[in-house]
């Protein structure tokens, strides 16, 4: 394995300057053990970082300042100075400054990701309205990355250990959701999810559950027709190439723990998937953009203006996003290596089968 894969360079965009992004970054990267498994590059400025570091006196955070990627120090946290000017930081306030510099950080980080200067990117939270400009006309990070990398479709995939929930629709008003529940959209998301589970999570034959749109999954057409006319036929079609099941009634599916029997769940809309996911993930969920040629993760929460600058932000989700980014990079490398040398995959399966047989003999 190459050195960059043994210890990949991971970028961090700062998010809204007045939110909790920089605090999350400082708390996460204060753990020096992270430097053993990755080389962090934070896209912001020294002055911005020092502003927030003063509010966290107990953090053990040291860094080196760079303006060129050739100067990246693998033994320290690196701050890539995206801007040099003084910026008025006002934690907890929604203003133009927070959105402007969040975008500058995101643009430089995404450029570095595309050019291969970094191997993965963890994005701190942005305020979706505050960041809007001529250069950012998107409903969030996910559609931005889709456009930047010019891919036909992507999937917002929420991950917490072995629970994975993807969405057919993302930031769409409730009144418009049904317009997007089409055969084409469901199939596209299922294909991305299936490929990602294999390539990014190392699952050979993933089992995918698909939720219905209406209460009780339509009750066989009594409560809406989408399940019988669109969702069920699409699942049947998808089964020609993958293990897809459903549609399931969303409330009973999560309440009864059925999600534990599947490798991933495809929800029809934002709250249908995210409410149960966040309730079960208990603050350690990760938002992953599946379908990109690169690896991008983020925490599963927002800017939290109400606690910004107070040193109260919990960084467990941001830390989980960092680890998930590293794990997916390694899984992708392993997947590519197996594809190049199928004998390794066959050997691994033979070894696993031999171990299983030996266990059965011992237990017998």
Number of domains making up the chain: 2
At residue 283 the predicted structure's pLDDT band, cuts being 50, 70 and 90, is: confident
**Whether 36 and 156 share a structural domain:** no
Please compute the mean of the pLDDT values over residues 95-111 and round it to a whole number.
96
**Whether 300 and 235 share a structural domain:** no
Last residue of a domain, one of 242, 264, 286: 286
Please compute the mean of the pLDDT values over residues 79-87 and round it to a whole number.
95
**Whether 12 and 48 share a structural domain:** yes
Rounded alpha-carbon distances, angstroms, from residue 306 to 91, 218, 318:
9, 40, 18
**Whether 139 and 158 share a structural domain:** no
At residue 79 the predicted structure's pLDDT band, cuts being 50, 70 and 90, is: very high
Please compute the mean of the pLDDT values over residues 271-300 and round it to a whole number.
95
Residue 22 and residue 303: Cα distance in Å, rounded? 10
Last residue of a domain, one of 225, 260, 286: 286
**Whether 139 and 262 share a structural domain:** no
Q: How many CA atoms lie within 13 A of 54 on its CB side?
A: 5
162's tokens: 């072995």
Cβ pair 156, 271 in contact under 8 A? no
Domain that holds residue 159: 152-286
Cβ pair 170, 271 in contact under 8 A? no
Residue 119 and residue 124: Cα distance in Å, rounded? 17
Last residue of a domain, one of 261, 286, 311: 286
Handedness of CA 172, 178, 179, 183 (dihedral sign): positive
pLDDT in tens, 164-201: 999 999 999 999 999 999 999 999 999 999 999 999 99
Give the least confident one: 7-16, 189-198, 305-314: 305-314
CATH classification at residue 268: 3.40.718.10
Phi then psi for residue 117, to 5 deg, are -70, -30
Please compute the mean of the pLDDT values over residues 224-230 and round it to a whole number.
90
Q: Indicate whether 142 pLDDT > 70.
A: yes
Q: What is the mean pLDDT of the chain?
A: 91
Residue 204 and residue 242: Cα distance in Å, rounded? 11
Phi then psi for residue 25, to 5 deg, are -65, -45
Residue 173 and residue 154: Cα distance in Å, rounded? 19
Q: Indicate whether 259 pLDDT > 70.
A: yes
């Amino acid at each position: 394995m190459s050195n960059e894969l043994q210890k990949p360079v991971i970028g961090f965009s700062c998010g809204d300057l007045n939110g909790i992004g920089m605090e999350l970054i400082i708390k996460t990267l204060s753990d020096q053990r992270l430097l053993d498994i990755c080389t962090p590059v934070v896209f912001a400025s020294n002055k911005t970082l020092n502003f927030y570091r003063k509010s966290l006196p107990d953090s053990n955070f040291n860094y080196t300042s760079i303006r060129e990627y050739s100067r990246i120090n693998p033994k320290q946290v690196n701050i890539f100075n995206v801007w040099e000017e003084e910026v008025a930081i006002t934690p907890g306030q929604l203003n133009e400054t927070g959105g402007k510099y969040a975008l500058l950080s995101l643009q430089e980080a995404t450029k570095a990701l595309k050019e291969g200067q970094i191997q993965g990117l963890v994005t701190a939270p942005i305020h979706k309205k505050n960041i809007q400009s001529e250069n950012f006309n998107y409903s969030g990070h996910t559609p931005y990355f889709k456009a930047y990398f010019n891919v036909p479709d992507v999937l917002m995939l929420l991950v917490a250990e072995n629970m994975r929930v993807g969405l057919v629709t993302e930031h769409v008003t409730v009144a418009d959701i049904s317009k997007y529940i089409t055969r084409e959209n469901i199939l596209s998301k299922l294909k991305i999810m299936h490929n990602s589970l294999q390539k990014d999570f190392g699952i050979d034959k993933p089992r995918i559950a698909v939720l219905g749109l209406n209460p009780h999954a339509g009750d066989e057409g009594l409560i809406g027709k989408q399940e019988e006319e669109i969702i069920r036929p699409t699942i049947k079609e998808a089964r020609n190439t993958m293990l897809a099941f459903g549609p399931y009634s969303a409330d009973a599916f999560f309440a009864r723990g059925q999600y534990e029997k599947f490798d991933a769940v495809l929800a029809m809309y934002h709250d249908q998937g995210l409410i149960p996911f966040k309730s079960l993930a208990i603050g350690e969920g990760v938002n992953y953009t599946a379908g990109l040629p690169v690896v991008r993760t983020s925490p599963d929460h927002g800017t939290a203006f109400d606690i910004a600058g107070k040193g109260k932000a919990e960084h467990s989700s941001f830390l989980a996003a960092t680890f998930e980014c590293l794990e997916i990079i390694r899984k992708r490398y392993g997947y590519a290596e197996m594809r190049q040398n199928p004998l390794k995959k066959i050997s691994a399966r033979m070894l696993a089968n031999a171990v299983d047989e030996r266990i059965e003999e011992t237990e017998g």
